[in-house]
Amino acid sequence: MLQSLLDLKTRLQAAPHGGQRALVEEFAASVGKSCATVYKWLTDEVGYSSGRKPRADAGTTRLAPDVLQFVAAAKQESIRANGKATMGTPVAMSIAAANGLDINVSGSRLQTLLRQHGMQPGQLRDARNTQQMRSEHPNHVHQIDPSLCLVYYMGGKQRVMRDDEFYKNKLDAVARIKLKVWRYVRVDHFSGAIDIRYFEAAGENQAVLFDFLMHTWGRHATRLSHGLPRLLLWDKGSANTSHGIQRLLDALGVQHETHAAGHAWAKGGVEVANNIVETQFESRLRFEPVESVEALNAAAEAWVRDYNANAIAHVDARVHRPGGDFVRDDLWHGIRAEQLVALPERSVCLWFLAGKDATRKVNNLRISFAHPELERPGQYDLRAWADQLYKGQEVTVTPLLLKGGAVRVSIERLGREPLLVEVMPEVDYDQAGRPMSATVFGERSAMPHDASVATAKQLVQAAYGDGTSLEDAEAKRRANTRPFAHLNDGKGVVAHSHLGKEELPTRLQRQAQEVDTPAIAAARTTPELAPMNVVTASLRLRGMLGRNLLPEENAWLRKQYADDKVPVEHIDAIAARLRGDDLADQATGTHHVRPFLKVVGQ
């Protein structure tokens, strides 16, 4: 493929003006890819450049700046204290249009403009929410995680760290073990297929991680799953110590991401896998020790083989999900041919372990970068270019060799070429290890405002009027001051009162079907109460009258209900009659006038 791309590059350079597109389309059709993909291959793999000049209007838009600021400020002012954004771009556009602002671009274009100008709420205030993730097929997403194993080897014998000897506050006890055993776990997110490998090393390092990737992505006689993933999730610790690995992943076409600090849930699958390995495999080592890491890995390979196949007696090794229970190997075996990408030879992969470009997020106008020539991560001061940087902005960092730890930083600029600057690491530190460039307490020194602060100032002035400072805006928010109150001659903006006035089309109403279920039918049915016998009715009447029934009353009751069945609904009428009240018997339709006056002493 590389040779084909090189040939295509030569043909493109020799093609007449206007003839390059046809060559790319022909090549794309032959390999079954889009023209955009072919152009990306040409750029990334063989260094092709079309030589086309940037558009003269790049970075410009016909949308008025005050309209863009209004929409951004409206979204920003609708963020709750808990970080939740309550107003979307379409709603903000609707409010802007209702107040006479000209919205002359689409919603998607407006979203792009907000993002390009650093005005999206997420760019001004970082907020993340957890959500359930789904992978599309085997080898779509892999998660790996190294961790210190409780097993270690000393004097040719297996030993296990006991809690009472190696709890977290006795770090010196752990430090006495020169070569610790590290467990590397890989899990395929789609199938849940697990792989483990143990290494004896002083700590995490690039060489061990490389060996693990070669093992876990290569074919193995005792493991079904293999091949490269589309996306690899790992933690920042592994990424920061593995610049060569990142370059290898880029070369292999494996996208790699790290979870944010405090967001270990982002790779929860491998955390679960670590627990499975500890409880299902390592718990067995106490009863059948092995004498070396090699023997430990042989035992681990046998366990991986049987566990992924759910072939261990009395152990349910399936993955349990809302949609069912699945054998891990069965799920992975459903991989299609186009989804299975083989790992290249080890010698090819080793070539990519040289230094690589990396990205860093700007924090307080500084970045930290572990230069290969420095003993510890270096701090690089970017305050001189503060007006080009937003909070949390990512910059591309390239280590420069033989220059005392210098790096080249590439800062993206909207509509222009990236700004390339060369930065030396901070080397002057005080006795406490703090940089000498830091401000001393008692001395007045202000940090330069970065682009985020400038943008925030524009938005608060759009929301509360010219001259409003960030502190003024915060005070107004606490006082629940109405944003945009200065617009429309002091009337403020129309946000919802214009709703409900548009003429809607007349629609025929559908005839709804009534709910017809056994439960609803039973609820609609009035239950029939069984009649009482005369004795039970007498006891009920005694409670209602507060006295025993007289013989004449009992005789009347027995005669009236000779079948010994007194309807429950008659009890109130009978009690009223015995009290001497005038009552029309609703049950029989007859009228009785005090039939027991003599009896009850009326």
Query: What is the per-residue pLDDT for 449?
Result: 61
Side chain identity at residue 87, one-letter code: M
Query: What is the per-residue pLDDT for 227?
Result: 93
Question: Which residues fall within 8 angstroms of residue 570, CB to CB, at 6 or more apart?
Answer: 585, 587
Tokens of 314: 């009395």
Give the separation between CA 383 and CA 365, rounded to whole angstroms. Answer: 5
Give the separation between CA 44 and CA 251, rounded to whole angstroms. Answer: 10
Q: Buried b / exposed e across 256-267, counting CB within 10 Å, b at 16+?
A: bebbeeeeeebb
Query: What is the per-residue pLDDT for 57?
Result: 58
* Vertex 167 angle, CA 164 and 172, to 5°: 105
8 A C-beta contact, residue 92 and residue 111: no
Q: What is the phi/psi pair of residue 151, to 5°?
A: -90, 140
Element holding 284 (H helix, E strand): none
CA distances from 199 to 33, 184, 296, 307, 457 (A): 41, 8, 10, 21, 53
Give the separation between CA 582 and CA 594, rounded to whole angstroms. Answer: 6
Element holding 20 (H helix, E strand): helix 20-31
**Burial category of 85 from C-beta neighbours within 10 Å (exposed 0-12, middle 13-18, buried 19 and up):** middle
Instruction: Give 3-state DSSP helix, strand, coil % of the chain, rounded to 5.
Output: 40, 15, 45
Tokens of 481: 């001051």
Q: Is 363 helix (H, G, I), strand (E, B) or coil?
A: strand
Give the separation between CA 455 and CA 392, rounded to whole angstroms. Answer: 14
Q: What is the DSSP string of 259-279?
A: PPTT-GGGGHHHHHHHHHIII
CA distances from 584 to 157, 534, 537, 556, 591 (A): 102, 21, 20, 17, 5
CA distances from 26 to 15, 22, 38, 48, 597 (A): 14, 6, 10, 17, 114
Q: CB count, 10 Å around CB of 190?
A: 24
Paired residues of 194 in beta bridges: 187
N-terminal to C-terminal alpha carbon distance within the chain: 116
Place of tokens 């009240």: 581
Q: Is 35 helix (H, G, I), strand (E, B) or coil?
A: helix
Alpha helices (H) in 343-387, listed in sequence order: 346-350
Query: What is the per-residue pLDDT for 283?
Result: 82
Taking the whole predicted model, whether its pTM rises above 0.85 is answered as no
Tokens of 463: 């929301």
Question: Which residues fall within 8 angstroms of residue 491, CB to CB, at 6 or more apart?
Answer: none
Q: CB count, 10 Å around CB of 143?
A: 24
Q: Ramachandran region of residue 401, left (φ > 0), alpha (ψ -120 to 50) or beta? A: beta
Question: Which residues fall within 8 angstroms of residue 117, CB to CB, at 6 or more apart?
Answer: 68, 72, 414, 455
Place of tokens 């600057």: 421
Query: Helix 107-116 crosses helix 65-77 at what angle (to 10 degrees)?
Result: 80
Tokens of 346: 């080890």
8 A C-beta contact, residue 182 and residue 201: yes
Paired residues of 85 in beta bridges: 79
Give the separation between CA 411 and CA 342, rounded to whole angstroms. Answer: 36
CA distances from 271 to 168, 278, 308, 404 (A): 19, 11, 17, 39
Give the separation between CA 292 and CA 181, rounded to whole angstroms. Answer: 10
8 A C-beta contact, residue 170 and residue 297: no
Query: What is the per-residue pLDDT for 251?
Result: 65
Place of tokens 């700590």: 203
List per-block mean pLDDT (blocks of 10 residues) for the chain, which spans 602 residues.
87 84 90 89 83 65 85 82 76 86 87 84 58 85 85 59 49 54 91 92 80 93 93 74 75 76 54 88 83 89 94 91 92 93 80 65 86 78 84 80 73 84 82 73 64 82 88 88 86 86 84 77 74 91 90 91 90 88 47 42 32
Side chain identity at residue 179, one-letter code: L
Give the separation between CA 257 and CA 272, rounded to whole angstroms. Answer: 19
* Vertex 475 angle, CA 471 and 480, to 5°: 145
Element holding 600 (H helix, E strand): helix 597-600
Residue closest to 179 by CA, chosen among 208, 200, 151: 200
Residue closest to 196 by CA, chosen among 208, 187, 206: 187
State whether the Cα torsion 595-598-600-602 is positive or negative: positive
Q: CB count, 10 Å around CB of 300?
A: 22
Element holding 246 (H helix, E strand): helix 243-252
